[in-house]
């Protein structure tokens, strides 16, 4: 199985008007997505933020559950938080995974009109063939900016809705868990 890591991006991401913005880190994202990432065997959940004060906050949350009173109170929370890595940018994450040239970025998003898509079943098979480590990138705000999407080797197809109006704007927490299960979940367990 290829190494899979994930990254939650807070810049450059889009706002409602599709302007480039920087969003604040949501604590819930740290707990929720690292637990999903750990459950499905990802090696690392990177949380990228360009502002040092935001990274300090995220590190403090991490420390609380890895070495602080959180770890003593609820030891089960420790392993997922240990795979959390707070970094300044996607470039730092790529360097930690072996360098931009030896990592494939797969981006995600709710919209399906942004170029060729990698279906989840095909992605699942690709992860089971020899290949570079994969970094699955999730956005915040109203989604990832083009600057990130342009660097991607693939864009995972969106999780689609059976609704007539196609509403599929999931929280990033829900989207990450669904995608991790589809790509890495143990089908036999169903």
CB-count burial class (<10 Å; 0-12, 13-18, 19+) for 113: exposed
Contact present, 140 and 110 (Cβ < 8 Å): no
Q: Taking the complex as a whole, how short is the minimal distance between the CB of residue 30 and ligand SAM, in angstroms? A: 13
Window contacting ligand SAM (CB under 6 A); options: 38-46, 89-97, 98-106, 107-115: 107-115
CA 106 to chain centre: 10
Query: Contacting ligand SAM (CB under 6 A), which of 86, 138, 152, 154?
Result: 138
Contact present, 137 and 172 (Cβ < 8 Å): no
Window contacting ligand SAM (CB under 6 A); options: 73-81, 93-101, 115-123, 138-146: 138-146
Query: Contacting ligand SAM (CB under 6 A), which of 46, 90, 135, 143?
Result: 143
Query: Contacting ligand SAM (CB under 6 A), which of 175, 177, 183, 184?
Result: 175
Contact present, 111 and 142 (Cβ < 8 Å): no
Contact present, 186 and 180 (Cβ < 8 Å): no
Residue with Cβ nearer ligand SAM (12 or 158): 158
Chain residues that interact with ligand SAM, rule: CB under 6 A: 108-110, 138-144, 158-159, 168-172, 175
């Amino acid at each position: 199985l290829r190494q899979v890591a994930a990254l939650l991006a807070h810049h450059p991401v889009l706002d409602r008007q599709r302007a480039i913005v920087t969003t604040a880190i949501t604590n819930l994202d740290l707990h929720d997505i690292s637990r999903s990432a750990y459950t499905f065997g990802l090696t690392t959940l990177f949380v990228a933020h360009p502002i040092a004060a935001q990274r300090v906050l995220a590190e403090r949350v991490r420390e609380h559950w890895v070495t602080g009173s959180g770890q003593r109170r609820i030891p089960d929370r420790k392993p997922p938080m240990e795979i959390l890595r707070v970094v300044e940018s996607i470039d730092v994450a790529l360097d930690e995974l072996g360098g931009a040239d030896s990592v494939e970025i797969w981006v995600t998003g709710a919209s399906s009109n942004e170029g060729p898509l990698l279906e989840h079943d095909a992605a699942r098979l690709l992860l089971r063939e020899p290949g570079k480590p994969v970094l699955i990138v999730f956005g915040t705000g109203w989604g990832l900016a083009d600057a990130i999407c342009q660097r991607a080797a693939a864009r995972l197809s969106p999780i689609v809705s059976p609704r007539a109006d196609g509403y599929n704007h999931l929280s990033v927490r829900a989207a990450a868990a669904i995608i991790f299960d589809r790509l890495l979940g143990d089908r036999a367990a169903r």
